[in-house]
Amino acid sequence: MDPARIDECLGRFESLCRERGLPLTVQRREILRAVLERDDHPTADTVYESAKDRIPGLSRTTVYRVLETLVSLGVVRRLHHPGPNARFDAKTSRHHHLVCRVCHRVIDLESEDLDNLKLPSVSHHGFRIEDYSVHVVGVCGECGSKGLGIRD
């Protein structure tokens, strides 16, 4: 994300904290900044690595707790991901994902067509729809060129 938008997001986050009476700590701001700066859907550990240089003495525990807070504020999303550890994304606008079956890399996919799908009515499940995204599964360029992921 470009620096101007990052500052804008941080600003909105600060307002949100004041609104809710949440203490605005260095950790919260810098961990959010670390997620905003990455567009590769980092794990908690990746976020920790990015943020620890800017926050002396930062603890992994805090990263987990702050990410949880950011998710419940709706500032960050927890991704649906096949790998063993949680992944996060600060892009909360509707978008879609290319997921590599081999290396588990997640690439953002922008498409107006996919953003405006007509979803079937699912009211009979009692399910209240809030959003959706399309997960496209396949093999990324890098894995493909290594000859990985050839089926059967």
Partner DNA sequence: CTCCGTGCAAAAGGTTTGCACTGGT
Partner DNA sequence: ACCAGTGCAAACCTTTTGCACGGAG
3-state secondary structure (DSSP) of residue 74: coil
C-alpha separations of 60 from 32, 57, 131 in Å: 14, 10, 31
Residues in the chain: 152
Please give the size of the binding site for its own copies, defined by CB under 8 A.
44
Please identify, among the stretches 4-12, 41-49, 111-119, 143-151, the one whose residues bind DNA according to the rule CB under 7 A: 41-49
Tell me whether residue 6 or residue 148 sits nearer to its own copies (CB atom): 148
Q: Give yes or no for residue 26 binding DNA (CB under 7 A).
A: yes
Distance CA 49, CA 82 (A): 22
Q: Give yes or no for residue 41 binding its own copies (CB under 8 A).
A: no
Give least dist CB 37 to its own copies, A.
21
Q: At 9, give phi and psi (nearest 5°).
A: -65, -40
For DNA, the binding residues (CB under 7 A) are 17-18, 21-28, 43-45, 55, 57-62, 64-66, 68-69, 84-86
